[in-house]
Amino acid sequence: MKKLLSTKYSAGAFNTAMLILRLGLGILMMLHGYQKLVHFGDLHNKFMNFLGIGSTLSLALVIFAEFFCSLFLILGLFSRLATIPLIITMCVVIFKVNNGHFVDEDLHAEPALYLIGYLTVLLVGPGKISIDNMTGK
């Protein structure tokens, strides 16, 4: 019980927590990206044109962020760099799609939670259980 209430943590616990955070964020977001990837033909004309570059290119950028950057995050490869497109995507969802509401009208807070997780990985890094650490980046 004493350890449960302690504010101290070990480096191993921190690195394991960062692995769990990366895996959780990466796998869950990758599922969103995979759905967009397999339904690209159905979505490319209907997708939101959030940058004025066309709905097809906007969808391709979101798929890159949600699927491929999530894969990098899972692997711990270019982790901090991979979070930047994901952070931008979540900001677009929060500020453009949800009109600046961190919780939408159906009380869904997922974009804000993803944003907080990605910001954490950006600031802290991937932890030692990552390809970034193995390559010395």
pLDDT per position as a tens digit, 55-100: 889 899 999 999 999 999 999 999 999 999 999 999 998 888 777 6
Q: Is 3 helix (H, G, I), strand (E, B) or coil?
A: coil
Q: Quick check: is 68 in a domain?
A: yes
Q: Quick check: is 78 in a domain?
A: yes
Position 72 scores a pLDDT of 96
The answer to whether 85 and 69 are in contact (CB under 8 A) is yes
Q: Quick check: is 124 in a domain?
A: yes
Task: Return the structure tokens found at 40.
Answer: 């690209």
* Angle, CA of 81, 135 and 117, to the nearest 5°: 35
More confident residue, 55 or 51: 55
Average pLDDT over residues 34-52: 86
Which pTM value belongs to this model?
0.87
Average pLDDT over residues 30-51: 88
Q: Quick check: is 2 in a domain?
A: no
How many structural domains is the chain composed of? 1
Nearest in space to 91 (alpha carbons), one of 114, 59, 125:
114
Position 54 scores a pLDDT of 87
Position 1 scores a pLDDT of 66
pLDDT band at residue 119 under the 50/70/90 scheme: very high
Task: Print the domain residue range for 92.
Answer: 13-135
Q: Quick check: is 111 in a domain?
A: yes
